[in-house]
Structure 1
Amino acid sequence: MKTEQVVDHIVNWLKEYAMNAKMDGFVLGISGGIDSAVTSALCAKTGIRTLCVEMPIHQAESQVTRAEEHIAQLKQRFANVSDVRVDLTPVFEAFKVQTPQTTDDTHLDLALANTRARLRMTTLYYFAGLHRYLVAGTGNKVEDFGVGFFTKYGDGGVDLSPIADLLKSEVYELGAYLKVPDSILKAAPTDGLFGDSRTDEDQIGASYDELEMAMELQNEGVAIQDLSGRTREVYEIYTRLNRANQHKMNPIPVCKIPPTLK
């Protein structure tokens, strides 16, 4: 990958989009992970106002520390970067108190994890509306178009997606070029939505390198019966998630009314 040229291309794309939309800047959530670090650095390089928002909800201290380190570095390097911290833990706890108790908690953890993501989306759009900013998405290609590893109307609720055509490995390449802190480059990817130490690989059952391999196999039209061992296992994981999460990747279905009924 021509890293420098890719960075310049994305930065110019961001500037042109903001100018055409007649908006005054970008806002995005900073998690302490590689995707939000790279996206925020790209937004910062535009020279346009970039607001980095920390939104902890029972967050692990290591994630908070990495996010703060990255924001501090960005503010030191770019005069157009500002930040704000919104502790959403009390909001999340109040939400849980107000919702009816369930006797079947089979899906409770996942429902609450997605609620965290949607509270953060709401917060980002509050600041976007306040300052006339665009909400920048932080999803990469494997997450957004491969396995659908994001929350619908949570971290998937954005105005534009600067890195959604980049594989995770390519995001890391950009991160190194953009001088993202080593603590982030070396950290195991995690969505941080469950309040514990589980990683993305723990949840998905495969690493991003493995998922990229599976994505390439699917693009090449490789049949699953031609595979074996771990490769087949990963390919099965990938195709299962890809099928199950098409509702996230495709436009919302609209019920079309026949003209004869109107």
Structure 2
Amino acid sequence: MDTPKVIDYIVNWLKNYANNAKVNGFVVGVSGGIDSAVTSSLCARTGLSTLCVELPIHQAESQVNRASEHIKHLKQHYKNVSNVAVNLTSTFEEFKTALPETVSSPKLDLTLANTRARLRMTTLYYFAGLHGLLVAGTGNKVEDFGVGFFTKYGDGGVDLSPIADLLKSEVYKLATKLNVPDSIQKAQPTDGLFGDSRTDEDQIGATYDELEWAMAMQARNKNAKDFTGRQLEVYKIYTRLNNINQHKINPIPVCKIPDFLK
């Protein structure tokens, strides 16, 4: 991959899209992770207004520190970058008290984690509306089109996706060229939605390198019988998630009414 040219291509794509949409720039939720760091850096390079928003909800201090370090780095190099922090912890807790008492359910933790992501999305669109900005998505290709590792109408609720055609390994290459802080490049990827130390790999059961391999194998029309051992395990993880998350990956189905019924 010609990393410098890819960076220039995405930056020009972002700038042209924003200019055609007649908006002022972009708003990005910055989490302290590699994807949001790369996305916000690309937006900053457009020269258009780039608002970095920190949205902690019971966030680990290490994640908050990495996000702050990255935003400080951006502001030192780009005058068009501004930032705001909105602590949504009390909002999240208040939301939970407004709900009817929930019977114990194995899906409760995941449902609440997705709720955190949707509260963040709502906040990003508040600032987008206020300042005439587009919400820039931070999902990469493996997450958005491989295993569907995102929250529908949470971090999946965006106006445009600048890095969604890049594999995670390619995102890291851009991060190096964009001088993203080492603390972010070396950190274990995590969505930070559960209020504990679990990583993406803990949740998925495979590393991003393994998922990229499985994605490539599926594209070559391989199937489970072609693999054994760890490769078979990873391929099954990938294909299972790819299958069950098609409702995220594909456009929303529309019930088309036949003309003779209208």
Counterpart of 1:200? 200
Secondary structure of the equivalent of 1:28? strand
Q: Secondary structure at the match of 2:26?
A: strand
- Give distance in 1, aligned partners of 2:5 and 2:179: 16
Q: Unpaired segments of 5 or more residues in structure 1?
A: none
1:189 aligns with 189
CA distance in 2, matches of 1:203, 1:213: 18
1:165 equivalent in structure 2: 165
What stretches of structure 2 of length at least 5 have no aligned partner? none
2:118 corresponds in structure 1 to 118
| Matches of 1:174 and 1:127, distance apart in 2 | 27
Shift of 1:130: 0.1
Scaled by the length of structure 1, the TM-score of the pair is: 0.99
Output aligned runs, 1:92-107, within 5 Å. Answer: 92-107=92-107
1:48-89 per-position Cα deviation (integer Å, ceiling 9, x unaligned): 000000000000000000000000000001000000000000
Residue 260 of structure 1 deviates from its aligned partner by 1.5
Per the alignment, residue 252 of structure 2 pairs with: 252
TM-score between both structures, scaled by the size of structure 2: 0.99
The 3-state SS of whatever aligns with 1:154 is coil
State the alpha-carbon separation in 1 of the partners of residues 199 and 101 from structure 2: 28
Report the Cα offset of residue 42 of structure 1: 0.2
| 1:243 aligned residue | 243
Equivalent residue, structure 1, for 2:25: 25
Counterpart AA for 2:257:
I
Q: Name 2:131's counterpart in structure 1.
A: 131
Alignment partners' CA distance in 2, 1:255 and 1:199: 38
Q: Per-residue deviation at 1:168? A: 0.1
The answer as to 2:55 corresponding to 1:55 is yes
2:226 corresponding residue in structure 1: 226
TM-superposed deviation, 1:104: 2.8
- Looking at structure 1, the residues matched to 187 and 223 of structure 2 have their Cα atoms a distance apart, in angstroms, of 34
1:259 deviates by: 1.4
The CA distance in 2 between the partners of 1:128 and 1:156, in whole Å, is 16
The residue that corresponds to 1:140 in the other structure is 140
Deviations 1:78-104 (A, max 9, x none): 000000000000100000000011113
1:223, distance to aligned residue in structure 2 (A)? 2.1
Identity of aligned residues (%): 74
Specify the code of the residue in structure 2 equivalent to 1:42. L
RMSD: 0.5
Letter in 1 for 2:135: V
Give the number of aligned pairs: 262
Aligned: 1:87 with 2:50: no
Aligned counterparts of 2:175 and 2:109: Cα–Cα separation in 1 = 31
Q: Whole-Å Cα distance in 1 between the matches of residues 214 and 238 of structure 2?
A: 6
Could you tell me how far apart the structure 2 residues matched to 1:223 and 1:236 are? Answer: 9
1:8 equivalent to 2:5? Answer: no
Q: Which amino acid aligns with 2:62?
A: S
Matched with 1:37 is 37
* Post-superposition CA distance 1:17-67 (Å, at most 9, x none): 000000001001000000000000000000000000000000000000000
Instruction: Provide the C-alpha distance between the structure 1 equivalents of 2:258 and 2:14, rounded to a whole number of angstroms.
Output: 40
Q: Write the distance in 1 (CA, Å) between the matches of 2:252 and 2:220.
A: 28
Give 1:144 deviation, angstroms.
0.1
**Aligned match of 2:152:** 152
Q: Which residue of 2 aligns with 1:74?
A: 74
What secondary structure does 1:93 align onto?
helix
User: What SS is found at the alignment partner of 1:27?
Assistant: strand
